[in-house]
């Protein structure tokens, strides 16, 4: 199994999301989720962060990574 370290410029993993913040934190009240399944991004490439928009597929192909979303199910 091939292991590839993916890092953003400067050694981090977040390439561009909300870089002006000291720490990117998101919270959700699970009982308020409207859909049966909600996918949250863990690759830091989503255009709809913190929600997954499928960008992990392109990222994984580009660098040989295997990241995917966190699924919250009702
Ligand atoms: Fe990041 Fe899907 S877009 S996990």
Measured CA to CA in angstroms, residue 62 lies from 4, 10, 65, 72 at distances of 11, 20, 8, 27
C-alpha of residue 50 to centroid of ligand 1, in Å = 9
Question: Which residues touch 55 (CB under 8 Å, ≥6 apart)?
Answer: 41, 43, 45, 46, 47
Q: What is the mean pLDDT of residues 13-27?
A: 94
Distances (CA, A) of 36 to 33, 58, 72: 8, 25, 8
Centroid of ligand 1 to alpha carbon of 47 (angstroms): 9
Q: Is 23 considered catalytic here?
A: yes
Task: Give, using CA atoms, the residue closest to atom 2 of ligand 1.
Answer: 52
ipTM exceeding the 0.95 mark: yes
Instruction: Write out pLDDT tens, residues 4-17.
Output: 555 666 778 899 99
C-alpha 64, offset from chain centre = 16
Ligand 1: residue of 13, 15, 50, 54 to mutate (most ligand atoms within 8 A of CB) is 54
């Amino acid at each position: 199994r091939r292991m590839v370290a993916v890092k953003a410029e400067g050694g981090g993993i977040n390439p561009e999301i909300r870089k002006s913040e000291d720490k990117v934190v998101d919270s959700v009240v699970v009982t308020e989720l409207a859909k049966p399944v909600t996918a949250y991004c863990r690759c830091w490439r989503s255009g709809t962060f913190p929600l997954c928009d499928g960008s992990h597929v392109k990222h994984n192909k580009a660098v040989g990574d295997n990241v995917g979303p966190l699924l919250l199910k009702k």
